[in-house]
Structure formats: structure tokens, C-alpha cells
Structure 1
Amino acid sequence: MHFDLASGVALHVIPTKQFKMTHVLITFTTSQTRDNATARNLLANLLETSTHRYPTQTALARQLAKLYGAYVGMGVGRVGRLHTVRLRASFVNDQIAGTNLFAQVVDLINEILFHPLIDDNEFDGPTFRIQAHNLRQTITALYDDKQFYANRQLMNLYYPDEAVLRVPSFGRVADLANLTAQNLVPVYQDMVDRDRVDIFVLGDVDPAGVRDEISQLPFSSRAVSSLSPYYQQPPHPAVRRKVEHQPVIQAKLNLGYQLPVYYHDQNYYAGLVFNGLFGGTPYSKLFTNVREKASLAYYATSRLLPFTGFLGVQTGIQAVDAQRVTDLIAQQLAELCAGKFSAEQLAEVQDSLINQYRASHDLANNILGRQLLRALLDLPPETAVTDKINAVTADDVSRVAQLVKMQATYLLSGEK
């Protein structure tokens, strides 16, 4: 059920008795730039830890405890080229609580979003410094994970220097030096006043009552231009390659391909099945032939990003086997192009994808994530998904496989 609360501010209510908890997702969406991701992530951290009424994390935690242990937190995410700041809340529904807990949580959300700890046009100094330090540590720790590090290096090879997708949604350590308690205030004001806002409420709720409560959040109308998450780039004239040496025991070989298959376009379901056969499921060729039969990889997986036309392969290997693994991966792709897979393998992958889809309905966050995509893309409700997956033929898989173009290879090796 959809309500327009103001221009550029939409409320989406999903009544269901499936969950004992009520779930709220509020997203602030704008186009990502090379400069705004770090600032918006730091902003999210500040907003979730302090307000004027609750100036410390301890005070905020005590208030949440009073609300029957409700959860309210903030973070960032990305949908293709779009950057989102997301507030999530979950709490027992009013029928179980025996009180109007929904209204109390909305009041706390109001406090977090519209009464941050800002005085004299700057965020509280000690809180800002703590959160900036924490974010620096968090981002640094991510890159200590060599699998994550290798994937980011592959992305840097795949995307051109100027592409915003080179910048992770959580930002960069280098950008923190330019952020202050003063210049983060305009970032906050811009987000609250100008971003597209989508509010989702999932649970055993009355839509009209939800609308009345959420309408008390003082969102103003805003002129929101059309936002598209899709990103496309021309193929590189030659494959970009990089080998890096670090003291690692397990080498990382990551491959990046262009695959022009986009979310819910005519090839979308064929692309899902192709990826499942290539490396996206335990029934895939990479898992079966590279990892299991040849024993050349500790892991070998593929992932399709349907807003950017990117297909990535990640493997953990012995560095000495890098060329053999590269050749064997190429062989698996060639076999998919030629239709060299059995009807049984196709059916196993389709069943696996359908089971994943059905299982995702058991998690509220997955449901809300799909609702967010529907809202951003203005898509009708999903229908007959299992039928569409099952309708993919071997010829469809081969046709999609033939669209794949190698673009980048990255090897992180412990051997010189």
C-alpha cells in the first residue's frame, strides 16, 4: 500500500502476519559522487549514536531498552550508481507489546533524524572525532581481509579512473581528512531536505494507522529528479592485468568480465541461470570442475551485478597454479557458450535458484530490499518468478554466455 507523504517522500506499507516483529526501513537516496560516500557514511554513524535528547550511545541504548529492546540503526548501501543512507528499526508489534510501541519508536526515529547533536552549526566535537576514528578503523580493517582487498583491486582495474563505482559505498579513509564537524552539517541538511525518501513498514500493522504515525515525521517536499541506478561503460580495448605481491599464504586470482544483463531486462533470468551454472551455485562448473575435480582452488565463485553489467570471478589458489586456473575458468565459460552442460545440471541450478528465492521470503530484510528496488525502479510487483526461472532454456544460457567479455584480471600472490 502506497502513500505520498510529500513530494519526493513515499510511504510503502506491507501488512503481514508472517512476523512477530515490525520492521521499518527509511532510505535517503541520491546519485553517488566520488566525494559524498565517505561523508554520508560518517553522517549515518553520527546520527545513530547521539541526539539532543540522547547525547551519548549509552543514553540512546537505555531508551531502546525501554522500548522492549527495540533496534534502531543506520548505515549506507548502494544500488548501482545510487547511494543510500538507510535507517532500520525492528521491534515487537503492538499486539504483543500491549502498548502503542509503534508510536514510541517513530518518536525515537524523529529524534534521530531531525534532532542530531548539532549546536552552533556544527556536530558535537568529541562525538565527531570518535566516530571519524571508528570509521577509519572500520575501513582499514576491511582491507586487511585479503579476499576483500583483491576484489577492490579488481574493481579498480575494471572501472575507468573517473567512474564513481571505484569508490565503495562506505567511502575511503583518505576522504576523512577533509571532513569536519562543521562541513558535515551541510551534508546532513542536503540529505534530509533534498534526497529522495522511501519509508517501508512491514508487519502486522494497520496501513492507515501507520500513515498517521509516520506523517508526524517532519519531512518537507523536495524536487527529486529521475534517478537511475544503471551503469554502462564501453569495453576496454585490451584486458587490464595486474599482479601484486604481498606476504599471503593463499593467492587470490580475481577475474572481471562485462556482461550486459541488467535487472529485470529481457535477459535477466537467463543471466541468473547462466551465473548459477558458471560459478554462482554449488552445482556450477567453477565449483565442480575447478575446485572439486581439479583441486586447483580453495574456493571458486562468480557473481553477477545486474545494475552495472559486471560479472566477477573470485578464487583462492596457489600462486603457481594461476595460469592453469585461468585457462580452466576460460574452458568452463567456453563450454557454457557451446551448450556443453546437461539438462540435469540446468535443472539443479534452476531448483537451487528457486529455493534461494523462496527462502529469502523468510527474512524481513530481504523482503524490504526487494521492495526498495521496486520503488526506485518503479516496477510492478514480482510475479511468476519461479516460472520465469524454469522457462530459461539451454539455448538462453548459451546466448547469454556468448555476451561475456573478459575485461580485467588481478592476482595477489605471495610468491615473486
Structure 2
Amino acid sequence: MRLPLTSHNLAYASLLAKMQMNATLYFPTINKQQEELSKMYDLQFEAVPQLFGKDIILSYVANFVEPIEILDPEYTYAKIIEDLALIIEHPTLDDQIIALSKRQLSSDYQEIMAEPANFALDRFFKIWYQNEPDYAENFMGPIDEIENATSKDLKLFVDNLKMVPATVIGLVKDPDLVDHLVKEEFKYPGLMKNFTESNLTIPAPKRDLQLSDVHNNLQAQLFMGYGYDLTLPFYGQIVGQVLGQYLAGDPSSKLFTKIREEAGAAYAVEANNYANNSLFLINAGLDPNKVEEAKAIIKGEIEAIAAGEIDSDLLKKSKKALLNIQLIGKDKENWRLAQMLRGELFDGYSLFDRENAIKRVTETQLAKFAKNLFLNESYVLR
């Protein structure tokens, strides 16, 4: 299901997902729901809110043994789809389940925020989107809104969900039969709406910020966020991924060798292209005394790439590493489902050849990508 990203929607989607994984109207206790799933040969059910730029995708994922593999006349596609519909379409608004789910999310939140890297990432996005707070949440939405949610508000949220665009994707041995059964069981009006979204990209704000917080951690967390002005086509997103691999994909990458090995400053370095946020983010866990040195190295390397100073052998190695990830992913159901979801969400994506795009990335294109980057935010948690 696709719905607009607001802090309210993310908080309620997170709470609803947790509730549905605990119990639902037809399986009103945790034990009853788990017992039913266990009867279905340990069917694995998960509800997951994901962020895609301006939208939230609330995904319901079921992994199950193919009925043809089981000699059980009561275990059929029809029974699987019927149970999934009972769970997904009929959430319980029981006060005890709501309270339990709130406690679980609160515990999850405390555990997440106890990690300095997660705290720093959360703080980074809140600064990055300080003028657009609906886009600032990076995990589960505002914990105070989750804790203050009422059954009345949740019912309104659930009722509204039935109208948002929805789609069904899957990998099964008999897709025609499953497609028929899904249409019979799921009555969401949103399934009749167009799931594709033309533009989910959030423009990068333009501000040159250098901020820090002191928590007296043994390790400093450095986040350097580069923005760019354009909405990237699929090929441009691949160039960004190659740049991330080139800079921090493995121990032979540029920032690993310069910050971690030569300067002895970093414990870990990452570089990721968040295309839907117009953000190229470099982050590192550092010796607190070497933060400024690391910042200078990162700035210098981005400037060098923009000037065309690119290690051709390392670029080839980076592209090969991404091709290997692509090859491994093809054998994993979750990776294939993620690609199918993007095919439903982004017009033309299903026809996009990722493998060929990775092979085609050149030094000139890497330099052009770097030239479009502007340092927007430097945040340090010490």
C-alpha cells in the first residue's frame, strides 16, 4: 500500500504493522495467530513500512511452503490467501494489543537510539529536514505520537488505508491461480488505483550546516551529506551506487584506504546514494581526535573525483563488486521481490537493465555526478 510520508502516517503505519504481527480480529491473541501460522507449515508473515522519498510503502510479506510440496489436502493456495486476508484486512483494535504493541515499539526505539550511529543518523535527518519535519523521521515515526495513539485514531487510519493505492506481487508456482484468489479475497478499493508514482523525489534543501553534539562516546560519528539538484533517472542512480562502492564499498576503496589505513582514523566508513532524497551520504565511525582530518579527506576525494582524478582499476573493481551483488541477489526471493516492487512503483523500471547500466558507468560519468554534489550538512556526534 502506498501512502504519503508524514510523521503521523509513519508512526501509525509502524504501530499498525506491529499490532498485525501480534494479533488480529480473527486471531485475537498472539498465541492464536502464531498457532494458525504454525498450522500453515510455519508460514512467515511480516508487516513492514518502508520509505521511498515522499511516500511510505506498507508491505505485507508472506513466505510459505508451496502447497504442491506438501501432501496435505487442507493446505492449499486458497487456504493461505484466506488466512492472509483475515490477518491483513481485519486488524484488531483491542486495547491490550495496542498497549502491548506500543511497549514493543518503545523498547525497539530505545534499543535503536542506544546505538550512537543510529542516534547520529536520526539527528542528521532531523537537521537535514528541519524545515520539512514530515520527512525527518528515519525509523518508525515520532515515538511520542505512537505512545499517544488511540483506538479511535487507529480506526480512522485503518479505514483510510483501504482507499490508498495498492498492488500485489509475488513469486509462486501457479501465479494465475494465486492472482485469481487474491482478487476474490482482497476487497481493497485501492487495488483498483494506479500504484505507479511519477515523482517521489524530495528536493535537497540548500544550506551549508556544520553542527555537532557531545555525548562523550568513545567513538565519534561523522555524517557528511551532499545534496544534488536534479531528479536522477535510473541510470544516474546506478552511477551514484558505483560512486558509493568506489568510495567505501570494501577495504580497497578510496575512503577506506585514506581514512582507515593511511590516517588510522576510522573504524568504519560508508557511502550511500539516497536517490529519492537527493542525498549522497558519507558516514564514518572515527577516533574523536581525527574528525577534522577525516572531513578534509572526504572533501578532498569528492573534489578530486569531480576534477576527473579517478583510479580506473578501482572503478573496474567497484563495478565488478556491484555486478556480483546483482548476481547473488537474483537467487534471493527478497531481492527479486524488491525489484518487482520498484517495477510496480516506478514507471519503466521493470524494463531497466541494471546489469548493463553498471557495466556502462564511465570515469566521465562518475566525475559528472561528483560535480553536481554540494556539501549541505556536516554533523558530528562525539
The equivalent residue for 1:23 is: none
- Aligned length, in residue pairs: 377
Please say if 1:110 is aligned against 2:85.
Answer: yes
Q: Which structure has the higher relative contact order (CA within 8 Å, separation 6+)?
A: 1
Aligned counterpart for 1:363 among listed residues 328, 332, 338:
332
The equivalent residue for 1:344 is: 313
Deviates more, 1:44-53 or 1:341-350: 44-53
Instruction: Using the TM superposition, give the Cα deviation of residue 243 of structure 1 relative to its aligned residue in structure 2, in angstroms.
Output: 1.4
In the TM superposition, what whole-angstrom CA distance separates every residue of 1:75-130 from its partner, at most 9, and x where no partner exists? 2111111112211111111221134432222111111122332xxxxx11111111
Instruction: Using the TM superposition, give the Cα deviation of residue 188 of structure 1 relative to its aligned residue in structure 2, in angstroms.
Output: 0.8
Structure number with the higher helix fraction is: 2
Aligned counterpart for 2:261 among listed residues 289, 292, 299:
292
Structure 2 gap ranges (5+): none
The equivalent residue for 2:14 is: 41
The equivalent residue for 1:229 is: 200
Query: Residue 54 of structure 1 aligns to a residue in which SS?
Result: coil
The equivalent residue for 2:53 is: 80
- CA RMSD in angstroms comes to 1.9
Query: Residue 235 of structure 1 aligns to a residue in which SS?
Result: coil
The TM-score normalised by the length of structure 2 is 0.93
Instruction: Using the TM superposition, give the Cα deviation of residue 276 of structure 1 relative to its aligned residue in structure 2, in angstroms.
Output: 1.9
Aligned counterpart for 2:288 among listed residues 319, 341, 344:
319
Question: For residues 205 and 339 of structure 2, what CA distance do their matches in structure 1 show?
Answer: 29
Query: Residue 197 of structure 1 aligns to a residue in which SS?
Result: coil
In the TM superposition, what whole-angstrom CA distance separates every residue of 1:322-377 from its partner, at most 9, and x where no partner exists? 11111111111122112222221111011011111111112111111111111111
Instruction: Using the TM superposition, give the Cα deviation of residue 169 of structure 1 relative to its aligned residue in structure 2, in angstroms.
Output: 5.0
Question: Is 2:223–2:379's contact at 8 Å kept on the other side of the alignment?
Answer: yes
Q: 1:70 to 1:160 in 2, by over 3 A?
A: same
Question: For residues 320 and 293 of structure 1, what CA distance do their matches in structure 2 show?
Answer: 15
Query: Residue 299 of structure 1 aligns to a residue in which SS?
Result: strand
In the TM superposition, what whole-angstrom CA distance separates every residue of 1:270-313 from its partner, at most 9, and x where no partner exists? 22222222224444211121112221111111111011110111
* Equivalent position amino acid for 1:176 in 2: I
Question: Is 2:342–2:349's contact at 8 Å kept on the other side of the alignment?
Answer: no
Q: 1:265 to 1:53 in 2, by over 3 A?
A: closer
The equivalent residue for 2:104 is: 134
The TM-score normalised by the length of structure 1 is 0.86
Structure 1 gap ranges (5+): 1-27, 118-122
Aligned counterpart for 1:65 among listed residues 38, 51, 71:
38
Instruction: Using the TM superposition, give the Cα deviation of residue 396 of structure 1 relative to its aligned residue in structure 2, in angstroms.
Output: 1.1
Question: For residues 71 and 301 of structure 1, what CA distance do their matches in structure 2 show?
Answer: 32
Question: For residues 240 and 365 of structure 1, what CA distance do their matches in structure 2 show?
Answer: 38
* Equivalent position amino acid for 1:73 in 2: E
Please say if 1:216 is aligned against 2:184.
Answer: yes
Question: Is 2:204–2:228's contact at 8 Å kept on the other side of the alignment?
Answer: no
* Equivalent position amino acid for 1:344 in 2: D
Structure number with the higher strand fraction is: 1
1:179-328 correspondence to structure 2 within 5 Å: 179-191=149-161, 193-203=162-172, 205-222=173-190, 224=193, 227=197, 228-236=199-207, 239-260=208-229, 262=231, 264-328=233-297
Question: For residues 352 and 90 of structure 2, what CA distance do their matches in structure 1 show?
Answer: 41
Please say if 1:353 is aligned against 2:322.
Answer: yes
Query: Residue 381 of structure 1 aligns to a residue in which SS?
Result: helix
Q: 1:268 to 1:177 in 2, by over 3 A?
A: closer
